[in-house]
Amino acid sequence: MSCAPIPIDLATQLFSRDPQRLYGPIAKSLITQVPYISALRSGTFPSAVSATLLSVAQGRAMLQTSLANPTFTSMLNLCGSCSLNVDQNGTNQYSYIAEINQGMSDKICLNQGFSAFLGSLTSQLESYQNGVTELINADIRYQLFLRSGVKMVVQAGGVSVTNQIYGGEYNIDEPVPAVQSTAQLTFGTLQSVNRYMRSALRAKPFGAGAAAHARFIGSPDILDALRNDLGGAAGPGGANIVPLGTLAAGGDKMAVDGLKSYMFEPLYRGIQMGEDPIPLRLNWNGAGYDPVDPNTSYSATVGTVSIVSDAWLNASHEVAFLMFDGSFERQVPAPFTGEGKIKFQRQMFGGEIQFLNHPDMTSNLFGDFGVMAYRIGRAMRPIYPWFVLPIIYKRCKDTDNLTTCTGVSG
């Protein structure tokens, strides 16, 4: 992206003008909360580090005693004995890097804003904030998809669950399987996968005891399909949403946490469910999967806006995620403003919006135009990358079986 100043005659009129009379406030752009960041750990990485960061994860100890049929020695026979089992242990190291995404808005001019409809500037700022939030969520989702150590492709025809899962324990960056999904995910299959992750991959659940659970994040379509699979089981105490305030007042820890972050639906058979209204969708190209952008550009009354893409609406496949505790940690850079007399401005790596209108002797002498700009700095630290399972499944058409009916009147 060029950082050269934009000629004043090319400034885009972003404001809603008021040449006649407008009634009511300008409608805000839409944003929907999504749960990915609530399912990850968070942290920071320090300044003055190398370009490539290393994450070290302790592996499970390899005991020299069978866990199928452990054998012990009688205490009476241990007098003076120095015979000990020498167990083994080790660590896995995963590399990751810090990356930045940055952008800026069209030029915003003082003279145009002076006579604009009240609320134009605030609405633009909120629209931009919403767009940056969607970008952060989309980045987390796609990084989990790429860097996970296991991936699943749902297939019909009696294929066992284990043969639908690719990758395994201690793995990372498992390639997306070049296998076409031929079926939609069912709750029975999801529950089988949940058991497989806990037993075969030793995935650590969120919570403990009776509250131990995995978190499933999927689109509204797949969540409804799973609830339909449950049938009457999705009644009170099942997969329906229970009033959050009531649970919190009763001391339910998950409900109390939900007041401060995304609230997953209450547990059903060891799985909590969260909704992603803008899921990752793919098209099968005959040899692999192509990600489909959910947005495309649209010429508004003034300027260009985003609109939902027809390609995304009609994509052939979709991705949901079954997540366990500690798969990745989303890190942001620690504050750094320079050294000694060399000082930089505070870098807004968290995705905050800055309005920049510094005067420039050649094109912005009076500082009467500026832009909104953002920077997103992050690093995705792998801890147990096989603790998150992207599930690729086929999107099935809705079958409402609507029939013609006779009208009540006439």
Q: What is the DSSP string of 19-66?
A: SS---SPPPPPP----SGGGGSEEEEE-SS--SEEEEEEEPPPB-SS-
Q: Is residue 410 part of a domain?
A: no
Q: Is residue 41 included in any domain, yes or no? A: no
Work out whether strand 214-218 and strand 271-275 pair parallel, antiparallel, or are unpaired. Answer: parallel
pLDDT higher for 210 or 164? 164
In the predicted model, is pLDDT for residue 239 greater than 50? no
Structure tokens at 354: 């800055």
Mean pLDDT of the 72-84 span: 71
Q: Report how many domains make up the chain.
A: 1
Question: What percent of the chain shows pLDDT beyond 70?
Answer: 71
Domain that includes residue 284, residue range: 49-58+88-335+344-394
pLDDT at 241: 39
256 pLDDT above the threshold of 70? no
Q: According to the model, what pLDDT value does residue 263 have?
A: 60
- Range in 47-56, 222-231, 244-253, 284-293 with the lowest mean pLDDT: 244-253
What is the per-residue pLDDT for 81?
66
Q: Residue 6: inside a domain, yes or no? A: no
Q: How confident is the model at residue 322 (pLDDT cuts 50, 70, 90)?
A: very high
Question: So what's the pLDDT on residue 58?
Answer: 75
Contact 126, 29 (CB under 8 A): yes
Q: Determine the pLDDT at residue 317.
A: 97
H or E stretch covering 338:
strand 338-339
Q: Is residue 399 part of a domain?
A: no
Is 168 within the bounds of a domain?
yes
pLDDT tens digits, residue range 173-201? 999 999 999 999 999 999 999 999 999 99
Average pLDDT in the chain: 77
pLDDT of residue 302 exceeding 80, the answer is: no
pLDDT grade for 248, boundaries at 50, 70 and 90:
very low
pLDDT reported for residue 54 = 79
Q: For residue 8, is it within any domain?
A: no
The answer to whether position 180 is within a domain reads yes
Query: 221: which strand partners?
Result: none
Give domain status of residue 75, yes or no.
Answer: no
Name the residue with higher pLDDT: 400 or 293.
293
